[in-house]
Amino acid sequence: MDKKIAYLPGDGIGPEVSEQAKKVMVAIAEKYGHKFEFDEALVGAVAIDATGDPYPVATHKICEESDAILFGAIGHPKYDNDPSAAVRPEEGLLRMRKSLGLYCNIRPVKAFKILEDKAPLKNDRLDGADLIVFRELTSGLYFGNPRGRTEDGKTAFETCTYTEEEILRMAKPAFEAAKNRRNKVTLVDKANVLVTSRLWREVVTKFHKENYPEVELDFLFVDNAAMQMVLNPRQFDVILTENLFGDIISDLSSVIAGSLGLLASASVGGKVGLYEPIHGSYPQATGKNIANPSAAILSAAMLLETSFGLTKEAEDIRTAINDALDSGKVTIDINPDNYIGTTEFGDTIVAYIKNN
């Protein structure tokens, strides 16, 4: 199999963790006789510094012409700490999602047995936790218009808008996933307050009744869902939700895995899928060889499976990650007393793939 991959390392630790994902994919290609061509492009703060644009036209062209996108991280303190900045790195990611039609964000979250003692939650709450968050990605408050500030600058406003079509195209993959898992979808909304949430509930309820009656459907307000995520994460199978709530809930779910450095994600819906770790650019760790590349490597596994249909290759990567964790070969975020570096962890995964 020959495939072209847009390689967008981004900012902060993005290049360090992406490099490990890339070399793992190269090892997979060598083992299974594939050819992966990586075409690097700028996005985020590095793109602003070079071109003034967080998502340059040249980067968009490379993404459009690729079979999948491997993405690192985005963000920089000089923009985060400047409320008057005219352009921000995050605008590049939002524009990329919108322009490529990547409306569906998929974030699998699973408790790793070896990390139960490291996770913020008690072991009895984590045991068996395994869920997927389906987050709508290109509408809602993040993209709503009108938005802005009044002339005196003392009032700011956003607009939240959703259409039936946008909700339906999210509902289908969520219910399909549940059908192949434990047959349960939880719609997270705020239907007691928000009109858009009531539309979500109406559309999803009808869609469920007409197309997937065998799948259990329940509802939680987002504030209760956040509490339930901490009290009993095992109750969840597939979570379906809108953009803002999905952002919050999926990050909160990191308490199940024990580290943001272990959570991968896929953004799909258009011609080309984008795969990225859910963590940020973590600028404090840049260049120190301490970042956990597991999420980036697991994102590469999602890329192979979801975009290329390479299930066995993806499973090789996941098995290698589990083997590294079980054997104690971990980064500082997991064991600050006995750890290996970012590069060394990537080398460990490559060695496992080559030798098994």
Please, are residues 258 and 116 in contact by the beta-carbon 8 Å criterion? Answer: yes
Task: From the candidates 80, 130, 251, 347, give the one annotated as an active-site residue.
Answer: 251
251 is catalytic: yes
Tell me the two tokens of residue 117.
């003692």
Using DSSP bridges, classify how beta strands 2-10 and 35-40 pair: parallel, antiparallel or unpaired: parallel
**Known catalytic residue at 247:** yes
Q: Could you tell me if 118 and 259 are in contact, meaning their C-beta atoms sit under 8 angstroms apart?
A: yes
Pair type for strands 148-149 and 156-157: antiparallel
Nearest in space to 298 (alpha carbons), one of 17, 40, 60, 67:
17
Point out the catalytic residue in the list 142, 162, 275, 282: 142
**Residue tagged active-site, from 3, 22, 23, 190:** 190
Question: If we measure between CA atoms, which residue out of 173, 174, 196 comes closest to residue 186?
Answer: 174
Quickly tell me which residue has 């510094």 as its tokens.
49
Q: Is the peptide bond before 173 cis (omega within 30 degrees of 0)?
A: no
Per the annotation, the verdict on 190 as an active-site residue is yes
Task: Identify the active-site residue in 247, 275, 316, 333.
Answer: 247
Question: Is 223 a residue of the active site?
Answer: yes
Q: Which of 82, 117, 124, 223 is catalytic?
A: 223
Strands (E), the chain: 2-10, 35-40, 68-73, 104-110, 130-136, 148-149, 156-157, 184-189, 216-221, 238-241, 264-268, 273-277
Question: What does the DSSP 8-state code read for residue 337?
Answer: T
- Catalytic residues, by residue number, are 142, 190, 223, 247, 251
